[in-house]
Chain A
Amino acid sequence: MESVEYQSVISDKDIRRFPISITTTEINLTGSWRFSKPVFKEKVSPCSVGCPANTNIPKYIFYLLKNDMDKAVEILRRENPFPATCGRVCPHFCQAKCNRKDYDGAVEIKQIERFVGDYALNVPPQKAKVMSNKSIAVVGGGPAGLSCAYFLAVNGYKVDLFEKENFLGGLLVYGIPEYRLPRSVVKREIENILSVGNIEVHLGNEINIDTLEELKSNYDAVFVGVGLSKDREVENIKVDNRGVFSGYELLKRLNTDLEFGKRFSGERIGVIGAGNVAMDVARTLIRLGNDVEIIYRRTLREAPSFEDEKNEALEEGVEIKEKRVVEDLQYDTEGRLLLKLRGVDRIENGKAVLNKIKEDCVVDKLILATGQVRAFDIDEDDKVFLGGDFLHGARTVIEAIASGKQAAFRIMAKFEGRDFSYMDKDDCFFRAERDFDEYKVVPFERINLHYFEKQEPLKIDKLPKEERVNNFREVALKPSLEKILGEAKRCFSCGVCNECKTCWFFCPDMCIGVHDGVEFDYSFCKGCGVCSEECPRGVIDMVEDK
C-alpha cells in the first residue's frame, strides 16, 4: 500500500477567490451610452419681456429669497435705476404676462419690487469711473433723462444733465401725488443715480429749439427727453386760471407748493379727462377737501389710467360722469361755472359723436386734464436721440425709463461702433448677460406645475379709505418681509435657475451639480432627460450628442 500525503492549509489569501466587489462602478463611464445630453440654458421669463425695461425679475426674486438683498438690488438696477419708484407707480406690465396668471393669479411683482426697491434706497450703486472721452448732453431731468444719464454714467461716459425746473425728477415729483409716490423716495433714488458720478446737473436750464443747436455742436450726442409740457387744446374751453385750470400745471403746483393747495378747499370741482393726470388731480383735490366730479367722454373702463387709480379714486369719493363732453361753459354771477354737458354716442376717429342727452352742471372750478403734447418738434439724427414721453407720447414711468435706457445704449453702440440691433431683437432689450442669439421666452406649457401648489396672490394692504381722504399719506402700505417672501416663493422663475435642485434630486446618475447654475458630469450622464423634463422652469435643454 502506497502512502498518500495531502498538502496542508489553503495559504492563498487572494481576495479574488471570493465573489466580492471592492471597487466602484466609476470605471464604467456611462456617458458613452448617451444619444442626447442636457445643457444648461437659461431663458427669458415672460415677465421680463412684459417689462419695458426688461428687468430680470426671476433673478432678483431668487436673490431676495436667498436673502442676498444686495445682489437682488444689483440685478434690479442693472435694468432700472428707479426700483422704489416703479414699485409704487409702475402698472407692472410684467404681471400681465406672468405665467402664473393662468394658474392661480400673477405674482404680485409690484409689491416685491417695492420691497427690494425700498431696501435699495439705502444701497447706493457703485461709483463709476470715466472710461470715455465722449461727452453727452441729456436734456430733461425726468425719468427718461435720468435713466439715460444713469446708464451712460455707469458705463463710463460723462454726462451734462439740463433741467428747466430747479429740481430733478420731472413728472415723478410734480406729476405724481405724494400719496402714491412719496417725495422722499424719488429724492433718494435720484441721489443714488447721481452717486454713480460722471453726471453734472444744470438746474433751471431750459433748452429750446435754438439752444439745442448749440448743444449739438458742443457735445458728441444729445438726448432729449423733456416730456410733454403743453396742454392738449380742448374745443370751447380755454385755460384762464380763474375758474379753468390746466390739470398738468395744477398738479405741478399742488405737488410742489402746499400753500397753493389751500386755495382749493370746500369746492365742487369738475375734471375733464380720465387719464392718470386726471385721476391724480381728482384724488389730490379730494384730499384737499373738495368734491370732485370727473367728466369723461368714454366709460371709465376704457380710460387709460391705471386700474388701481380708478378704483382708489372711486373709493375715495370721486364721482364720475361717463360719456359726457362739455359743450359750453359760462361763469355765473358768483363766479361759478355752469357747464352744458352733452351725451356721447360713440367716438369716431377720435371725435365724439354726440347724442341728444343734455345736462347742466355747476362747478366752482374746472380742470382740463385731457393730456399733453410736445412743446417743440425735433427729429432724431446722428447726434440727437429722443426718449420718454417726448418720443412716444404720454406713457408710463417705466416706459420713460426704458426709452432713456435704450437711448443710452444706442448712443454707446454708436460710439463703440457696435450694431445695436442684436440688443433689441424682438422688442427685448437686455443689458444683463444673456444669450441674445438664442433667447427664448418660456411658455406656460414649459412650467412643470407639479412643483407648485396653488396659492392666492398676495393682497396689497392699503390705508383704509377713511384714513386717506384728508391727508397725503402713502395709500399702499409697506408689506411685511414674511408676506413678501411668501409671494416671492410663488414665482415660477420661468427660464431662470433658482437653484431649486429638482434636477439634482431626480438625476438617477448623480451627474448634476447646482452652483450658480447647473453643471453636468458628462462622464456618467446617460442622457435620460429627466432633469430637463422635471425642471420646473425650463432651464435645461436636451441636445443631440453623438
Chain B
Amino acid sequence: MVKDMVLGSEAVALGVKLARPKVISAYPITPQTHIIERLSEMVDNGELDASFIRVESELSAISAAMGASQAGVRAFTATSSHGLALMHEVLHWIVGARLPVVLVNANRAIGSPWNIWTDQTDSMSQRDLGWLQVYCETAQEALDTVLQAFYVAEKVLLPIMVMIDGFILSHTLEEVVIPTQEQADEFLPPYEPGYFLDIDNPLSFGNAAKGDVFYNLRKDIQRSMEASFGIINEAHNRFDDIFGRRYDLIDTYFIDDAEIVFVIAGALTGTVRVAVDKLRNMGVKAGLLKIRYFRPFPSDLVRSYLADKKHVVVLNRSLSFGSAGQITQEIKNALYFEEDKPSIYDYVLSLGGKEVFVEDVVKLALNVGNLETSKILWRE
C-alpha cells in the first residue's frame, strides 16, 4: 500500500489494473483519454497482462468488451459523452446478455454545440438501460469503486458504469492510497462465469425470444437490480474489512439534524461540502446527501434520511428536457408515500462545465424560503 499523487483518470487506470481484466478495448475521447493512455502503457510494458484492442469507435470499444465478456473473461472499457451515446445500442445488449462489463465514463456534455466540459447528461441519458451506475467524488473513490464494480457486476451479472466528472475529477491531482495487488486479489477473486462461449459446452446466446419469455427475462433483470443492494453492501463490507475504507450506497454529511439537505452526485459534492461547512458556521442547519449508486436507486435508504427534513435541494447537473432533473425525479419518487414530505427543489446547478462556486450553494440555502417547488430552478 502506497500513497501517491495521481490524476483522477490515473486512479481509475490503477483500479482497473488491480482488477486484472483480460481484455480492454477503448477509443480516445476527451476527457477520458488519460485512462486508456495509462492502461495502454501498462499493457505495453507488461504491468498488466491483458489484450488492449485499439478499436475504431466507441461502438466497437463496447462491442469488443462485450465479446470478451461473453467469451468468459473480465473486460473493461472507458468513454465519455458522445462516445457513451454511440455505445447506446450495445449498452442495452450487454444488459440483456447479463454480462458483467465495467465501464468508466468521464462525465461530459453532449453537443451541439461542441463542449468538452463536465455535466451528467451523458450518463443520465443511459439511466434506463439496466446498468448499475455509480458516481464518484474523489480519485480515491474512483479507484476503489472500479475495484468494487467488478466484484458487484460479476455477482449480479449486470454491467456497471462508474462515473467520474470530466476534468474536475479526471484531470485533478489528488492524494490516493494505492492498494497492493495482494489486497486487490483478496478482495476480487478470479472471474469464473457460469456460462460463456465455451467450445466444450456449446450454447447459443441471444436467440430470438418470444414475448412471454422476454418479459420474464426483463423481470429477472429488475429482480437482480433489487437484489444487487445486498451484493453492493456485501462488497462495501468486504472492502472495508480488507482496505479499511468505508463506502455506502449513499454518503451523508451533517444530515442528522439538518433542515436543508442538498442532494448531489459526483465531484461537485466537494464544493457542496464546503458550502455546508460555511452554512453551519453561519448557524444554518444545512446537510448533504451524496448519491453514489444512482442505479439501482436506493429509495428506501434515501427516504430514511430525507423523510423528516424540511427542505431538500436537489442539485442536478443534467435534466430530462420537458420534465425535471433526473435526480430530483428519484428523490420525489422516493418520498411520494410520505404524508408530511419536505419541500423538494429541482435545481439545475450546472451544465457543460458552468462553474459552481461555494458561494452559489450558500446563497441558495439562504434563499430557500423563496424558492418554488413547482418548477425547475435555474441559476442567474
Contact = CB atoms under 8 A, between A and B. Distances in A.
A15 B201 CA distance: 14
A472 to B, nearest CB: 71
B204 interface: yes
Given A1-B305, A10-B155, A17 B220 contact: yes
A540 B337 CA distance: 74
Given A4-B304, A22-B203, A17 B98 contact: yes
B155 A9 contact: yes
Nearest to B206: A19
B217 A19 contact: yes
A1 B304 contact: yes
Given A19-B96, A19-B205, A20-B195, A6 B233 contact: yes
B216 A16 contact: yes
A21 interface: yes
Interface string A12-53: 110111111110000000000000000000000000000000
A166 interface: no
B227 A20 contact: no
B301 interface: yes
Nearest to B207: A21
B162 to A, nearest CB: 20
B227 A9 contact: yes
A10 B234 CA distance: 12
B203 A7 contact: no
A2 B98 contact: no
B177 interface: no
Contacts of A7: 227, 229-230
Interface in A104-136: none
Contacts of A8: 227, 230-231, 233-234
Identify which of A3, A8, A10, A13 gathers the most chain B CB atoms within 10 Å of its CB.
A10
Interface in B186-240: 194-195, 203-207, 209, 216-217, 220, 223-224, 227-234
B301 A18 contact: no
Contacts of A15: 195
B217 A6 contact: no
Given A16-B216, A20-B204, A2 B227 contact: no
A6 B237 CA distance: 13
Contacts of A18: 97-98, 157, 195, 205, 217
Contacts of B97: 18-19
Given A21-B207, A22-B203, A2 B194 contact: no
B155 A2 contact: no
B203 A10 contact: no
A78 B194 CA distance: 65
A1 B250 CA distance: 15
A3 B227 contact: no
A4 B203 contact: no
Given A2-B304, A21-B207, A9 B230 contact: yes
A58 to B, nearest CB: 43
A423 B59 CA distance: 73
A143 B171 CA distance: 107
Contacts of B227: 7-10
B359 interface: no
Given A4-B304, A9-B155, A10-B155, A19 B230 contact: no
Contacts of A2: 304
B331 interface: no
Contacts, number: 70
Nearest to A14: B220
A493 B220 CA distance: 61
B205 A20 contact: yes
B301 A20 contact: no
Interface in A475-514: none
B156 interface: yes
Contact of A13 (B194, B203, B207): B194
B300 interface: yes
Interface in B82-127: 96-98
A9 B97 CA distance: 19
Contacts of B205: 18-21
Contacts of B300: 4
A21 B203 contact: yes
B169 to A, nearest CB: 28
Contacts of A9: 155, 227, 230-231, 234
Interface in B273-301: 298, 300-301
A23 to B, nearest CB: 10
A530 B205 CA distance: 31
Nearest to A15: B195
Contacts of A19: 96-98, 205-207, 209, 217
Contacts of B96: 19
Interface in A381-418: none
Contacts of B305: 1
A13 B155 CA distance: 11
Nearest to A3: B304
Contacts of B304: 1-4
Contacts of B220: 12, 16-17
Contacts of B231: 8-10
Contacts of B233: 6, 8
B192 to A, nearest CB: 13
A30 to B, nearest CB: 16
A3 B205 CA distance: 41
A21 B230 contact: no
Nearest to B305: A1
A497 to B, nearest CB: 35
A415 B157 CA distance: 84
Contacts of A17: 98, 157, 217, 220, 224
A9 B223 CA distance: 11
A16 to B, nearest CB: 7
In this complex, the member of A15, A18, A21 whose beta carbon has the largest number of chain B beta carbons within 10 angstroms is A18
Most B CB contacts (10 A, CB to CB) among A9, A19, A21 go to A19
A15 B220 CA distance: 11
Nearest to B158: A10
Contacts of A16: 216-217, 220
A155 B167 CA distance: 102
Interface in B307-346: 308
Contacts of B228: 10
Contacts of A12: 220, 223
A2 B203 CA distance: 46
Contacts of A21: 203-205, 207
A19 to B, nearest CB: 5
A226 B305 CA distance: 122
Nearest to B216: A16
A319 to B, nearest CB: 81
Interface string A73-89: 00000000000000000
A6 B98 CA distance: 22
B305 to A, nearest CB: 6
Given A21-B204, A21-B205, 14 more contacts: A4-B301, A6-B232, A7-B227, A8-B227, A8-B231, A9-B227, A9-B230, A12-B223, A13-B194, A15-B195, A18-B217, A19-B96, A20-B203, A20-B204
The 3 A-B pairs of least Cβ separation, nearest first, read A6-B229, A8-B230, A21-B204
11 contacts: A1-B308, A2-B304, A6-B233, A8-B230, A9-B230, A10-B155, A10-B224, A10-B228, A15-B195, A20-B203, A22-B203
Interface of A: 1-4, 6-10, 12-13, 15-22
Interface of B: 96-98, 155-157, 194-195, 203-207, 209, 216-217, 220, 223-224, 227-234, 256, 298, 300-301, 304-305, 308
